[in-house]
Structure 1
Amino acid sequence: MKLYFGLFLAALSMPLASLAGVCALEFEVVWNIRQALGIGVVVGSVMILLALIMFLCGIPSTLQRIRAQTNASN
């Protein structure tokens, strides 16, 4: 499940990062477009890091499932 959640989070990272930049500019948290792009980059980077961590944490359990299936078929 962690593997799929990591992929889902990676797929959502760019739209949410751009949305965060637009909202920061719209709600006057930042004053120019460069700062809004910076907010988007920070949000996107954090989400990509979280997605990578979730993906890497899900790999061992996926490998165990694959090994169990191949052992059961032999």
Structure 2
Amino acid sequence: MKQDYYRLLGELQTVDFFLSELNLHLATHPQDHRAQAQRKEYHRIRQDLNREYEHCIRLMHATQEQLTMRKARKK
């Protein structure tokens, strides 16, 4: 699970960097239709990655909560 967390975090950072670069490029080349299409596609990819990342975070928190409850019961 933690491996997925770090993989997804790295992928999100990579996509965010790419989107930032695309936005800078489009600020000076607003008619670049290829870059506009790439931005749209990578925005969709980012949304998908973010959903997967948030799901992973929820699973990690739920697991941690269960472990905490088990430890409390043993005392």
Q: TM-score, normalised by structure 1?
A: 0.58
* Structure 2 spans left out of the alignment, 5+ residues: 23-32
* Structure 1 spans left out of the alignment, 5+ residues: 23-30
The whole-number CA distance in structure 1 between the counterparts of 2:34 and 2:11 is 25
Q: Does 1:37 align with 2:39?
A: yes
The whole-number CA distance in structure 1 between the counterparts of 2:4 and 2:65 is 16
Q: TM-score, normalised by structure 2?
A: 0.57
The number of equivalent residue pairs is: 61
Q: CA-atom RMSD, angstroms?
A: 2.7
Deviation at 1:5, TM superposition (A): 4.5
Whether the 8 Å contact between 1:13 and 1:47 is mirrored in structure 2 is yes
Identity of aligned residues (%): 7
The whole-number CA distance in structure 2 between the counterparts of 1:65 and 1:50 is 23
Q: Does 1:60 align with 2:55?
A: no
Counterpart position of 2:25: none
